[in-house]
Amino acid sequence: MKVLFVYGYGGSPQSTMCQLFRKHLPSDQFEIVSVVYPQHDCAQAVPFLEQVIEQEHIDIILGTSLGGFITLCLNTHLPKLVVNPCMSPLAELPLLTPRPDHPDDVQPSPELIATYEPFERALFAKNHLDEPITGFFAEGDELLGTKYVENFAAQFGSVHMIPGSHFGNKAGVKAVVQTMLSSMT
């Protein structure tokens, strides 16, 4: 099965989370595809990733943080797994500050944030309980906490609490992988 990994704000296909999933998903069953996408504009990111899904014959979409939000916005009925999804980019992106140990971190501009507004509005305008969407929320998420868990459950359905933090760890990734593998049997 081909898995499209959609990384979060300021991430890359080489992010820690992507590498952890590559390490823990059985390579004889899963191939992870992750591409650099135009994160600076949600209106460009969504159709770009939808094209990747079609061209690469993707079977599952796995998004983390802001990549989780973008995953939820994709117009497909493929299974979507979101880990620590940024459920409200309009509220959360302005709060981000560059991390001292990440020299490439950039403060999101008001223009970048504004590109997410119509997608956030549209995403929450309908119920998604009939779609194959699963949310994973880290119990120790230092960035978003667990404030979106109840809303996610009401809007999308399936929710799992996992160990770890926002930026991922082996135990949290293993919990997601276990859920993925058990859903295949």
Average pLDDT value over all residues in the chain = 92
The model's pTM = 0.94
Name the strand (E) or helix (H) holding 111.
helix 110-114
Helix (H), strand (E), coil (C) string for 38-61: CCCCHHHHHHHHHHHHHHHCCCEE
Q: Domain total for the chain?
A: 1
Q: What is the CATH number of the domain that holds 61?
A: 3.40.50.1820
Q: What is the rounded radius of gyration, in angstroms, for the C-alpha atoms of the chain?
A: 15
The per-type count for the chain, helices as H runs and strands as E runs, is 8, 6
Binned at pLDDT 50, 70 and 90, residue 185 comes out as low
Chain segment 28-74, per-residue pLDDT in tens:
999 999 999 999 999 999 999 999 999 999 999 999 999 999 999 99
- Which residue segment(s) compose the domain that 68 sits in? 2-183
